[in-house]
Chains A and B, each alone.
Chain A
C-alpha cells in the first residue's frame, strides 16, 4: 500500500499536493490509492495542530537545521545499545581507538577522515554507520578515502555529508566485498550530499525499499574510458518513493548514470550525465519529473521505459522537460543481456511502453540515430513474456515544444533494424503499434505538436505502422489546435 512518509526536510504541504494531484488522475487504481492515502494523511493535511504521531509526518522545512538530539520519528525506537552521545565513545568494543575527528561542521554528529589504509579507513567509517541513530549526520571531511568494503546503512533518518563535492572523494577501487559503494536498504529518510563516489565495483549509491531519499551535490564516476566493467548504475534508487536527485554529475556507468527504478514520486533535476550507456533512465516508475538536466556523450540521453515481468508493472505519469540533450553518440558498451544494450548509438530520448508521459521543451541536438523514439516493447528483440499486468502500448503521450536539431543522419545498424527505415531517419520516430481492441479508444491518443528545428521548421516525423495513408504525415497526431493539459509538477519541498 501507499507509504508516503515525509522526510525531515520534506514539508507536509507538498505531500498534500501530491495527494491532490493523485486524486486528479483518472485511473481507478490511482483513485483507490489516493483515497487510501488521503485517508491516511487526512490529519497531516488538515490544520490540526496535534498531528497523529503514528502518521510519521514531520513538518520540518529544508532550511531548518537538523537537530541530531531530536528524535525526528516518533515511531522509531532508537537502539539503546548505541551510545547516544557521539562525542564520547566509551564503547569498549571500538576497534580503532583513535581520537575523534573534528568534523567540518558543528551540525555533524560524527566526523571522519581517511585512515592509514583502505582497511583502517573502512573500519572507522563502518563504525560510524553501524552506530548511527536516527537524526545523526555522518560527516566526511575533505580527503581521499579508499575503501575495501561496502558501506551499508539500514537506519532511518540518517544524513551523510561530505565537506565538498570535489574535495571529499570516496574511492572504492580496492573494494573486494559487496558490490555497491554506499548501500542503503529499508529506511525512512536518507540524505546524502556534497561528496564524490568513485570506482565502485557495482552501483555507486544504491537505495532500495526506502522512503524519502535526497541525493544532492554529488559526483559518481568511474575513472578512465567508460567500460563494460564499470558498475551498472551511478545513482540507483529502486523500489522506493519520494526521491529527489539533484545537482549531481554521473560519468561512466555501464547501464544508466541515474536510474530510478520501480519507484514512485521522483524529481530528477539539474544533473549532468555523460559517458554512460544511458544518461538518465526512469523504469517502471510513476509520477516522476525530469527537468533541467544536461545529458551528453552517452549512448542514449534520457530513457523512460516500462518493462514486463517486474513486480511493479506501471510506468506512467512522467514528464521530461527543459533538458539539454546533445551528442549522445557514444558506442553502446552495455553488457550483453542488459535492456540498454538495445539503445541505438546516437539516441536523444527513448520512450518504451509507458503511458501518460510528456516530453516537452527539451533541446535535443546532434544525434546520429534517433531524436525522439517511441517504441512498443513487443517489437523489441526480446523473449516472450507472461505478465497479465503489463500494458505495452504507449498512450496519452504528449511530445511538444521540443527543439530537435541534426537528428538521424548517421543511424547505427540497430536503429535501422528497429525502424526498418533507411537513413536519414526522421526527428521523431513512433512504431505506431497501438491497441486495436474495441472500447476505450478515446484514451488511446498520442499527441505531437510545436516541435521544431533550429530554423523553426517543423520536426520530421514517422509512424512506422500507420493505420492508413502516409506515415510521415503528422496530421492525425498534431494536437496544436487543442493540446492536452500538461502533467502537473512534482514537488516536495519549498523552492
Chain B
C-alpha cells in the first residue's frame, strides 16, 4: 500500500527543511519543525530562505488574542493573530503550538494542520491514559485543506475550513471559519457548507470531492462525550510520536513538556502508551488496525460517545471481544447490517458488518456517519486484513 501521507510529508519536509532551526532546545525545536508553512508561499518569501531563521522571523504587526473584548470569538480568523500577518501561511506565532496525531481521522483525503493555544501562565492537566484537563480559554485549531496539485509543490493549496474548539467557563465550544476563494482569511460561519473540491493527487490523478463543512450542531456527533463537547486528538496516546512520522525529533509530549505546558509532566515518557501509526508497516497488523479504529470510530463507539447504545466499543483499550464486535449482533442497525448477522466474523471480512458499513457511501448506512462522502480505501484494506487474519470462529 502506497503511503500517500508519507509522500506528502516528505515533500513538505524537503520544501521546508530550511525552516528547521539550529535551536539547541530540543523541546522548542520540535515545535519549530511544525512551523512548516503551506506550499503556496511565495518562493521568494523569507520563510523559504535558508538563512531566515538566523535573522529571526519578522515581528507580526498583530498580537495573539484569544477572544474579543467581550470574550467572544472574532468574526474573522485573522483577528486572533494565530499566524501573524499571513493567516493563510499558517506559520504560528509564539504561543501557538503545532502538533500532529499518530493515527489520523480520515477526512475525505483532506490534509490538516493542528495547533494548541494555552493562555499565558496556564498549564494542561496531564493524564497518561484519560483525556487531559484544559484551562479555560484554551483553543484548539484545526485547518482542513487540499493541495492544488500534489505532484507539484509549487502549485499551492486550497484551504477549506478552520475549526476551533475553545474552552469557556469550563465547557468547550465549537466555531468554524470558512475560507473564501481569495484564500486570505476565513469568516465565522457555523451553518455548514458543501464545497466542490478538485485536486491532483500524488498519482497525478484528478480527484473530485463533495466536501462537507459540518454545521455547529453536528460537532457533537464526534466531539459529544457524555453530554459535553470534548477534544479528541490531543491526548497522550496520540502524541507519542514525532511531529513528522518516522522523524528523528522528540515526541510531541516532550515538545509540550519543553514548553512547560503540563502541570505535572510525566516522569518517564517511555513508559507511556501510544497508539501505532496505522500507516507504519513495521508495526503489527493488530496494533495498526486497532489504532485506526481508535482514531476513526472510537469517538462515537465508546461508553460516553454517540454510539454507546450500540455497545460496540472500538477504543484501543477494549479487550472484551464482544464489545469489539467479534461475533456481536447489531442492536439497532436496521438495513445497516447489509444482510450480515455480526459486526465482525473472524476470518471473514466479507461477512462482517463493520467492513460493509465502511465500504458504502449510502448516507443511511455508512460509517463514520458524518461528514465524509468518500470511502477510506486505506482504512478498509487495513480492517479487512485485520479481520481476515483473525482465527476463524463460528459465531452462530
Q: Please give the residue numbers on chain A whose beta carbons come within 8 Å of chain B beta carbons, in ascending order.
A: 77, 79-81, 92-93, 95, 119, 123, 126-127, 129-130, 149-150, 152-155, 175-179, 185-186, 200-203, 208-209, 228-233, 236, 238-239, 254-255, 259, 261-262, 307, 309-311, 334-339, 382-383, 385-386
| Contact between chains at B335 and A232 (CB < 8 Å) | yes
Cα-based distance from A251 to B119 in the complex (angstroms): 54
Q: Specify which chain B residues have a CB less than 8 angstroms from the CB of A203 in the assembled complex.
A: 334
Question: Is B189 on the interface with A (CB-CB < 8 A)?
Answer: yes
- Partner of A127 from the list B191, B227, B364 (CB cut-off 8 Å) is B191
Q: Specify which chain A residues have a CB less than 8 angstroms from the CB of B329 in the assembled complex.
A: 337, 339, 382-383
| Contact between chains at A309 and B322 (CB < 8 Å) | yes
Cα-based distance from A10 to B144 in the complex (angstroms): 44
| Contact between chains at A336 and B212 (CB < 8 Å) | no
Q: A231-B364, A310-B311 are in contact. Are A337 and B342 (CB under 8 A)?
A: yes
Binary interface profile of B, 335-357, with partner A (CB < 8 Å = 1, else 0)?
11111111000000000010000
Residue tally, chain B, CB below 8 Å to A: 61
What 7 pairs between A and B have smallest CB-CB spacing? A232-B334, A201-B364, A337-B337, A152-B217, A179-B364, A186-B227, A202-B364
Q: Specify which chain A residues have a CB less than 8 angstroms from the CB of B341 in the assembled complex.
A: 336-337
Cα-based distance from A231 to B353 in the complex (angstroms): 17
Cα-based distance from A261 to B327 in the complex (angstroms): 22
Cα-based distance from A374 to B27 in the complex (angstroms): 66
| Contact between chains at B309 and A261 (CB < 8 Å) | yes
Q: A186-B227, A310-B311 are in contact. Are A208 and B363 (CB under 8 A)?
A: no
Within 8 A of A (CB), among B24-83: 70-73, 75
Cα-based distance from A367 to B182 in the complex (angstroms): 67
In whole Å, how far is B315's beta carbon from the nearest beta carbon of chain A? 15
| Contact between chains at B335 and A254 (CB < 8 Å) | yes
Cα-based distance from A382 to B322 in the complex (angstroms): 13
Using CB atoms, name the residue of chain A closest to B194: A119
| Contact between chains at A232 and B322 (CB < 8 Å) | no
| Contact between chains at A337 and B333 (CB < 8 Å) | yes
- Besides the known contacts A93-B188, A129-B215, A236-B332, 7 further A-B residue pairs in the complex with CB atoms under 8 A apart: A81-B73, A93-B190, A154-B219, A231-B364, A238-B309, A309-B322, A337-B330
- Partner of B216 from the list A77, A130, A230 (CB cut-off 8 Å) is A130
| Contact between chains at A261 and B340 (CB < 8 Å) | no
Cα-based distance from A130 to B311 in the complex (angstroms): 29
Using CB atoms, name the residue of chain A closest to B227: A186
Chain B at the A interface: SS class:
loop
| Contact between chains at B370 and A178 (CB < 8 Å) | yes
Q: Which of A127, A149, A307 has the most CB of B within 10 A?
A: A149
Q: Specify which chain A residues have a CB less than 8 angstroms from the CB of B192 in the assembled complex.
A: 126, 149
Q: Specify which chain B residues have a CB less than 8 angstroms from the CB of A185 in the assembled complex.
A: 220-221, 224, 306
Binary interface profile of B, 183-195, with partner A (CB < 8 Å = 1, else 0)?
0000111111010
- Partner of A80 from the list B70, B216, B369 (CB cut-off 8 Å) is B70
In whole Å, how far is A301's beta carbon from the nearest beta carbon of chain B? 20
Cα-based distance from A154 to B331 in the complex (angstroms): 24
In whole Å, how far is B329's beta carbon from the nearest beta carbon of chain A? 6
Cα-based distance from A207 to B5 in the complex (angstroms): 38
Cα-based distance from A175 to B363 in the complex (angstroms): 8
In whole Å, how far is A4's beta carbon from the nearest beta carbon of chain B? 15
Question: Is B282 on the interface with A (CB-CB < 8 A)?
Answer: no
- Partner of B191 from the list A93, A153, A254, A335 (CB cut-off 8 Å) is A93
Question: Is B123 on the interface with A (CB-CB < 8 A)?
Answer: no
Cα-based distance from A154 to B311 in the complex (angstroms): 22
Q: A127-B191, A261-B309 are in contact. Are A228 and B335 (CB under 8 A)?
A: yes
Cα-based distance from A262 to B308 in the complex (angstroms): 10
Question: Is B362 on the interface with A (CB-CB < 8 A)?
Answer: yes
Q: 10 A-B residue contacts at CB 8 Å?
A: A130-B190, A130-B215, A154-B224, A175-B363, A177-B373, A185-B224, A201-B362, A232-B333, A254-B334, A383-B342
| Contact between chains at A201 and B309 (CB < 8 Å) | no
Question: Is B198 on the interface with A (CB-CB < 8 A)?
Answer: no
| Contact between chains at B191 and A95 (CB < 8 Å) | yes
Q: Specify which chain B residues have a CB less than 8 angstroms from the CB of A262 in the assembled complex.
A: 309
